[in-house]
Chains A and B, each alone.
Chain A
Amino acid sequence: MTSLPAPAKKKLGLVIDLDTCVGCHACAVACKEWNEGGDFGPLADDDPYGAEPHGVWFNRVHSYEVTPLPPGEGGARSAPGEGTHSRRTLTPALRARPTAASPEGRGEQIPQMVHFPRSCLHCETPDCVTVCPTGASYKRAEDGIVLVDNDKCIGCQLCAWACPYGAREIALPHPKGSTSDAGRKDSKRGTMQKCTLCVDRIYNETLDERDRQPACVMACPTRARMFGDLGDPDSDVSKVVAEREGFALMPEFGYQPVNRYLPPRPRRDGSSAAMPTEATEEILDTEKLPPLLRWLDKALSR
């Protein structure tokens, strides 16, 4: 039945730290590797070494450029005109350089890169489950993992349409004349694919206990991905979400995502993004120099 189960106490999910993610795509590759061969494999690939490779990934890493808003639009506070006035005294070379205090438009702000892994958020009340006409898309009552039964899925793609997070990708039927993975188990072609939260790892008793984590979490070199029970307020993941003000994506859809993202930490100077330090504007107080150096400064400044 694609009606949602009663809310479970256990809410397994991921916490992704946007502060430490370096955008290396290791999680995406590890995910692809595990799910290519695990219980759920193979993950469809067409023309993998050709001109237009096309395939299913459960996890994809985006990169965004975040430019702080100029003052007055919610950015750093400064009196209007203050920045403009001080800039007039600068040399043309310095004026062209971006300054954080400038109120004049985004172009003047120094942007920050934020790498953003995107995968299924295992929502508590997702429409991807309820729109399914066959019962193939379902949410597990015991731990909240959202899965697709590939033996039932008819590939109508309505669940992918219903997801604002782009968590679902279809394994397209084999293109005519294609030979890629043609000889392999092919029962998944034409059906919807999605992140399983590595359900075939996390309960897998043949694995060492510390390996019973999703492949993406195991692979992350900066430990930007954490796995745990977000329904338990005392779990490590819940604690770090509380501490770092982890947020849910697009909550207005009402799907109640389980996964949380931790925002990039403020920079040392308190701004949300990289800013030029004071040192870029070197001011020499000639009055304080010894007479000889003052004379040299005068002579060289001519």
Chain B
Amino acid sequence: MKPALSVIFFTVMSGTGYGVWCLLGAALCIGTYPIAGYGILVPLLFGFVLVTAGLLASTSHLGRPERAWRALSQWRSSWLSREGVASLVTYLPMLALAWLAFTHRGGSGVRIAGALLALCALVTLWCTANIYRSLKTIRAWRTRQVLPLYFAFALLSGGLWLWTWLALSPYAVIGLAFPLALLALAVIAAVIKTDYWRRIDAQPANTAGHATGLEKLGHVRAFEGPATEESYLTREMAFVLARKHGTHLRRIALALFAVLPVLGILIALATGIAWVALLAAVSCIAGLFVERWLFFAEARHAVAAFFPARLA
């Protein structure tokens, strides 16, 4: 599949924003978030910027962005519509929480708003992952790793940013349990992603014989495509990644989203140097951009089998 920058930007940035919101909301709900007032407002607004920038970027993937509001209507059948609704609903507990934090209120109101925010953020992430998982035509995305990966990456990236805030804020909380949990999450994400890559490498590609139903007559080779020029289909679905770079890019992604953040967490815990957290968060989000580019570029669409094979 053609990796569209708008969609990569959306899933990475909004995913991170929802990760921040989810962890912040959960921590407020169970009462372990160490600071109040602006301590809550800053990450809340940071998440707002990420989520909103991502959502706005995603509309530039549309042929008719001015009609984007129409996408809210078909939540009964469409995961994309559900995602749109969920993403807007998530703003409600976020705004409620912002107001509570701004007016320095605490107690059960914050707990409830936090719980709702965490829940809504998770539901939105679930919808996003399901947009891809529901496409039967793209075998790579049908693997069961896709759903946990979207959650793990959002929580990891968002968690690293939340930790960065806690460590670099005037309250300077490096903590122990939270960074260790993030470390575990980075390892889990790396393991699942490696498993995903191993699985999609083992998937057989759709063949021209199967696509045309002519395989029972013999070996089928696409002799001529329907046109001498590229078409929407060949550009969008038969996107061919220079696969020799695939291995390198996978290593780069893994190093950026898992290895460096893990090292950063260990260094910060050992030395107490807080700004390492920022490096870990930046590295992770950069790694996710590479990972998401590969998520699209390496995914093969069933329709590509109709076309003559080009350079692979």
Contacts and interface: CB of A to CB of B under 8 A. Distances in A.
Given A109-B218, A154-B68, A156-B61, A133 B78 contact: yes
A154 B71 contact: yes
A140 to B, nearest CB: 17
A133 B136 contact: no
B88 interface: no
A57 B71 CA distance: 26
A190 B141 CA distance: 26
A113 interface: yes
A111 B233 CA distance: 27
A263 B74 contact: no
- Scoring A75, A130, A171 by chain B CB atoms within 10 A of each residue's CB, the highest score goes to A130
B78 A154 contact: no
A42 B312 CA distance: 35
A262 B6 CA distance: 42
A272 B218 contact: yes
Contacts, number: 208
A20 B230 CA distance: 27
B218 A68 contact: yes
Secondary structure dominating the interface of B: mixed
Interface residues of B, number: 57
A131 B212 contact: no
A52 B74 contact: no
Contacts of B227: 57, 60
Contacts of B138: 161
B302 A160 contact: no
A272 B217 CA distance: 6
B143 interface: no
Contacts of B79: 131
B67 A131 contact: no
A178 to B, nearest CB: 15
B238 to A, nearest CB: 9
Interface string B36-75: 0000000000000000000000000111110110111110
A166 B233 contact: yes
A63 interface: yes
Given A52-B230, A68-B217, A132 B64 contact: no
Given A134-B67, A156-B63, 14 more contacts: A2-B77, A52-B229, A54-B229, A54-B231, A64-B212, A65-B223, A114-B217, A129-B77, A165-B303, A166-B237, A169-B231, A189-B63, A190-B64, A191-B63
5 contacts: A130-B78, A133-B80, A158-B80, A164-B136, A249-B211
Interface of B: 1, 61-65, 67-68, 70-74, 76-81, 84, 131, 134-138, 206, 208, 210-214, 216-227, 229-233, 236-237, 301-303, 306-307
